[in-house]
Amino acid sequence: MLDHKDFAKMCDNYANMAKDFEAFLIDFLLEEAKWVQGATKDRTPVKTGHLRGRWRITKVYKLSSGNLGFTLVNDADYASYVELGHTTKKRDKWVEGYFMATISIAKLEERMPADFEKEFILFLRKHGVQ
């Protein structure tokens, strides 16, 4: 038999969970953003260290769709050429890109569902819902 007090506590737990959910999502995405930034830096070739040191992530922001997102940025003027490839100055040869962000983002997309499931279970437990 369900006691009224137990039911009230369960309702409070769900209410608190709902109140904290967006903050949980923002924290989760920020951690994933840090991971992809680190993975991208690790894949970035180093000549002077300038290109590797220019990788930044934005704060997590709300899109017009209501979804949350972040942006991985490298403001070095040659970053896109190293990422995607380019021709030589004489335009006679193609230099392959390193795809450091492309590969890291693909790996993030693979791992994110498992990361989310693990963190969400902890979030539920923290709020006494699971």
User: Does residue 124 carry a pLDDT above 80?
Assistant: yes
Sequence ranges of the domains in the chain? 22-126
User: Does residue 13 carry a pLDDT above 90?
Assistant: no
CA-CA-CA-CA torsion sign (101, 107, 113, 119): negative
Q: Return the SS3 of 8.
A: helix
Local confidence band at 16 (pLDDT 50, 70, 90 cut-offs): confident
**Mean pLDDT, rounded, of the chain:** 93
- Average pLDDT for residues 91-113, to the nearest whole number? 97
The predicted-structure confidence for 41-89, as pLDDT tens digits, reads as follows 999 999 899 999 999 999 999 999 999 999 999 999 999 999 999 999 9
User: Does residue 2 carry a pLDDT above 70?
Assistant: no
Rounded Cα distance between 37 and 15, Å, is 34
